[in-house]
Amino acid sequence: MTISLYFVRHGQTYLNKYHRIQGVIDSPLTDKGIADAVSAGKRLSQIKFDAAYSSDTSRAIKTGRLILQENPSDLTAPIPVAGFRELIFGYYEGEDDVKTWHTIGGPIGINSFHGLIAEFGISKAEDMIAAADPYKDAESGETFWKRLKPAIDKVVEDASDGDKSLLATHGTLIRNVVDRWSDIPVNVSTKNGSVTKVNFDDGRYSVEYFNNVSEDL
């Protein structure tokens, strides 16, 4: 049984544009963000989707709709799934990203999320965010994965052999998936509108490519 999952990061939002941390909070797509989603849809237009899902945030739902407008399938909107929400950053939601990473990593000489991931791995970097959150609302790496993995498994469970499913989701979420199921480095930004392909084959997940913004999908 082989199923292909196409994870797409949502288009640019206003909080992305202003370099603000955006996890559980939401903001609309910018004009560039709409273009990001349309571009992803055009690049994916040769792939007829059998199912489509998104997180239940407006930015992911809108991205999924715009992608499907370019697709030859009869699907018009993704199914929203709470499990596909972005990592919850707790107290740091909406904060300036440079300030946030300096606050968390600065005392050990690391001033970026990429740097924390490169040094400790993404799950440990998420643990550091959770530990620094004074309100304890931020998700640890383990908590995030325990929320996310069942949602992915359910997409696979509901699919038939050979199906291709769209998942319009989020950057840190996609990096967690890639980190779990491949050796591809994830200490880079997941680009808005980029495509990451994950295959499920005979009970095993694997990553075919990550962060693809080319026409070769």
User: Exposed, middle or buried by CB within 10 Å (0-12, 13-18, 19+), for 47?
Assistant: middle
Q: How confident is the model at residue 215 (pLDDT cuts 50, 70, 90)?
A: confident
d(CA 119, CA 40): 31
User: What is the per-residue pLDDT for 217?
Assistant: 86
The per-residue pLDDT for range 137-149, each reduced to its tens digit, is: 999 999 999 999 9
Query: Of 10, 93, 126, 170, which is the active-site residue?
Result: 10
Mean pLDDT across the chain:
98
Whether the model pTM is above 0.95: yes
Query: Is residue 205 predicted with pLDDT exceeding 90?
Result: yes
* Residue 86 is among the residues annotated as catalytic for this protein: yes
Query: Of 19, 70, 86, 114, which is the active-site residue?
Result: 86
* Residue 10 is among the residues annotated as catalytic for this protein: yes
